[in-house]
Amino acid sequence: MDMLEDFNMIIDGKSVAGASNFDVINPATGEIFAKAPDCSEAQLDEAIASSRQAFLSWKKLSYEERAGYLNEMGQALIDNAGEMARLFTLEQGRPVALAQAEITNGGEWMQSIAKMRVEADIHEDSDQQLVKTHHVPLGVVCTIVPWNFPISLAAWKIAPALLTGNTMVLKPSPFTPLSTLVMGKMFADILPAGVLNIISGGDNLGPWMTSHPGFDKIAFTGSTATGKRVMESASKNLKSLTLELGGNDAAIVMPDVDLDEVAGKIFFGSFFNTAQICVATKRLYVHEDIYDDLRDRLIAIAKTTKIGDGTKQDTDMGPIQNKRQYDRVQELLGDAKKADLTVIECSDIPDGKGYFIPITIVDNPPEQSRVVQEEAFGPILPMLKFSDVDDVVARANASDYGLAGAVWSKDTDKAMAIALEMETGVVWINQNLIMIPGAPFAGHKQSGFGVENGMEGLLEYTVPKSIYLARG
């Protein structure tokens, strides 16, 4: 497969050029390296119409038949992950081996979801009546994903939506459209036309999609601010909604941990993917007895982390993915410096126009500082001291967000008790960033609503339909 050929959209099973094109920038160089198709409103209409048409027959297939397609799609991702990885890195920035891991994981995820089934429920089966609830597909799903995990977050939506009998129009972020378009081309060779349309475009396309009356559901992953706009737009014809939004996730490190064992894991949970992860640790609360020791260890790990162009072999960590996000993180850093907080820049960054930011620790800033209260989505980690458990749980929970959290302690009973108190959809104990397809993932508070993954995630793409059959 030639990965740097012309990039096209998939509409009604066909490879289609955009009405115009937009630039795609390599975040490691700040240079334009490719062009992506810019979908017109008329092309969006065509994509939705083809998904609507495909829905009529797709919904009638059995679960086994649809799962067969998903297995093939997952396998295509796995088989082509090596070839796709460099392109992924050029647009997203993450080192190639880690890019490949995401693509492979996306394929495996689809294959795992393909094993799941939503069965009808029988409530009464008597001489008087049979009462049975079927979980029927909603129709055409509008899917919008961000730039931090373009392939896996798309797979998280494609698999449950298609398995349960829906069809879809999917839009990647304008910052990372290319690997998704390549994936769309692979899937078009497998799927019936119209089941999965993949379109790309600039800032207009998302709002056109969410306000389009042709969709029955919106599955959105992105920031809380955009999620609110999506919800407003969806209200026009009361579309069903799943919103996976931002987080400002707290980790609590108890004094009994073995720092030799956990420091590296805490570093990973905070900075993997240049800290551009919705569920990354973004506020690190450390017991005062071990605070200095852990801070110094994290600084030491950061010093050995090579930040650079992800296409280079020795790079551990890539750039911030786009200029908009880079400016936001710089602004937050500038604010921390202006407020005279102790800002420790722990690593070197390459010269040039790439969007690089050093791994930065903000040493015990006030709780109300912006760097603590806002989601940075970049490699700035505020570390905060605590001495009392109830107090730290209250501080961790004092957030409008409620996506994920972590507890680190050798006393797993105590850690479990803390985990149950945390107001988040996921809590990790002595590990971080692990997700499995069978476990539901749901943001609490302003981290969104609705569920991804697990049986609840499948049900999000269905609506109950109860049939009452009279007997006798």
Exactly one of 38, 91, 244, 460 binds ligand NAD (CB under 6 A); which one? Answer: 244
Selected binder of ligand NAD within 106, 174, 269, 308 (CB under 6 A): 174
110 binds ligand NAD (CB under 6 A): no
Q: Which residue out of 39, 278, 346, 375 is catalytically annotated? A: 278
For residue 377, the Cα-to-chain-centroid distance in whole angstroms is: 12
- Whether 278 is a known active-site residue: answer yes
Site string for ligand NAD, 188-217 (x = CB under 6 A): ------------------xx--x-------
H helical segments located in 205-360: 205-210, 224-234, 259-271, 291-303, 323-338
Q: Which is nearer to ligand NAD, 66 or 282 (CB)?
A: 282
User: What residues numbered 271-330 form the site for ligand NAD, per CB under 6 A?
Assistant: 278
Whether the Cβ atoms of residue 85 and residue 100 lie closer than 8 Å to each other? yes
Cβ proximity to ligand NAD, 211 vs 369, nearer residue? 211
Residues 337-366 that bind ligand NAD (CB under 6 A): none
d(CA 98, CA 102): 6
Is residue 144 close enough to count as binding ligand NAD by CB under 6 A? yes
Write the Ramachandran bin of 30: left for phi over 0, alpha for psi from -120 to 50, otherwise beta. left
State the burial class of residue 213 (Cβ atoms within 10 Å of its Cβ: 0-12, 13-18, 19+): exposed
Contact present, 10 and 16 (Cβ < 8 Å): yes
Query: Would you list the DSSP string of 201-234?
Result: -STTHHHHHHT-TT-SEEEEES-HHHHHHHHHHH
Beta bridge partners of 464: 135
Q: Using CB under 6 A, which of 14, 86, 135, 229 touches ligand NAD? A: 229
Residue 372 burial by CB count (10 A; 0-12/13-18/19+): exposed, middle or buried?
buried
**Minimum distance from residue 238 beta carbon to ligand NAD (Å):** 17
Q: Tell me, letter by letter, the H, E, C secondary structure of 121-167.
A: EEEEECCCEEEEEEEEECCEEEEECCCCCHHHHHHHHHHHHHHCCCE
**Minimum distance from CB of 423 to ligand NAD (Å)?**
15
Q: How far is the CB of 230 from ligand NAD (least distance, A)?
A: 5
Residue nearest to ligand NAD (CB): 206
Is 184 a binding residue for ligand NAD by CB under 6 A? The answer is: no
Residues from 68 through 87 that contact ligand NAD (CB under 6 A): none
Residue with tokens 């799927």: 191
346 annotated active-site: no
Q: Footprint of ligand NAD on this chain (CB under 6 A)?
A: 144-148, 153, 171, 173-174, 206-207, 210, 221-223, 226, 229-230, 244-247, 278, 375, 377, 403, 443, 448
| Residues labelled as active-site residues | 244, 278
